[in-house]
Amino acid sequence: MRRWFVLSALALSLPLAVTWTRAGEKTEKAGPHDNHPPRGFTALFNGKDLTNWQGLVQINHRKKMSKEQYEDAVKKANAKYLPHWKVIDGVIHYDGKGQNLQTIKDFGNFELYVDWKIGPSGDSGIYLRGNPQVQIWDVKGRNNKPGIGSGGLYNNQKNPSKPLVVADNPAGHWNTFHIVMIGDKVTVKLNGKLVVDKTPLENYWERGKPLPVRGPIELQHHGDHLWFKNIYVKELPD
């Protein structure tokens, strides 16, 4: 009875904190407290469908398009890529056969929470303002011989690209990113541990030029099955 009471009290406290995500679980189903944003945040994923999301139109291509061209590109991207991103049991599941999923809305400065899960040797990432990327991969995967953890700014060349520590849960288990972006500076916590500390994210598409002041948040793919839930954003002042 005592053990039941402690667990029940814990369950009642879950909606009050951001750390309730239960990172480390293997289940592919969302729980009753998933996909409900904490106070001050907006859910980018509602747990039911892909409202707020669209197929990939790269930001470097988009800037060259007219409004009509962009709208046409979005329609084609949605038709081609969205069938590969499905909502199953309150979780976004990607089958590894399409392209990135991006927010319809552009963001400048923001605070972001994302729960993610990959399989063995999985590889993914979170694009910020349409630029790669906060890295996601299997620490013990075939493409990660040095055993580098997730969360680093993988495509940086002049600024640090590797995480400060390895904070990943094993492949097949849930992980939680807490990302803060102000200007071009990015801070990342993975499962509560600081892995990137106010590091500039470089402009991947136009090296040497400033990072765009606004752009979409993207869920990146590398041909692997991926799972996402609890995607919450809070816009911060410019």
pLDDT for 5-61, tens place per residue?
A: 333 333 333 333 333 334 444 567 899 889 999 999 999 999 999 999 999 999 999
Angstrom distance (rounded) from CA 73 to CA 89: 30
**Nearest to residue 232, comparing CAs of 176, 175, 193, 169?**
176
User: Tens place of pLDDT for every residue, the chain, 238 residues?
Assistant: 433 333 333 333 333 333 333 444 456 789 988 999 999 999 999 999 999 999 999 999 999 999 999 999 999 999 999 999 999 999 999 999 999 999 999 999 999 999 999 999 999 999 999 999 999 999 998 888 788 999 999 999 999 999 999 999 999 999 999 999 999 999 999 999 999 999 999 999 999 999 999 999 999 999 999 999 999 999 999 8
User: Helix or strand or coil: residue 77?
Assistant: helix
Given this structure, which CATH class describes domain 28-235? mainly beta
**pLDDT, position 154:** 97
**pLDDT, position 143:** 81
Percent of the chain's residues with pLDDT above 70: 89
**pLDDT, position 20:** 36
Q: Let me know: does 23 contact 190? Beta carbons within 8 Å.
A: no
In the structure encoding, which two tokens stand for residue 184, read together? 């071009």
Residue ranges per structural domain of the chain: 28-235
**What pTM value is reported for the model?**
0.88
**pLDDT, position 29:** 87
**pLDDT, position 26:** 55
Angstrom distance (rounded) from CA 206 to CA 215: 14
With a CB cutoff of 8 Å and minimum separation 6, the contacts of 115 are 21, 23, 34, 174, 175, 176, 177, 228, 229, 230, 231
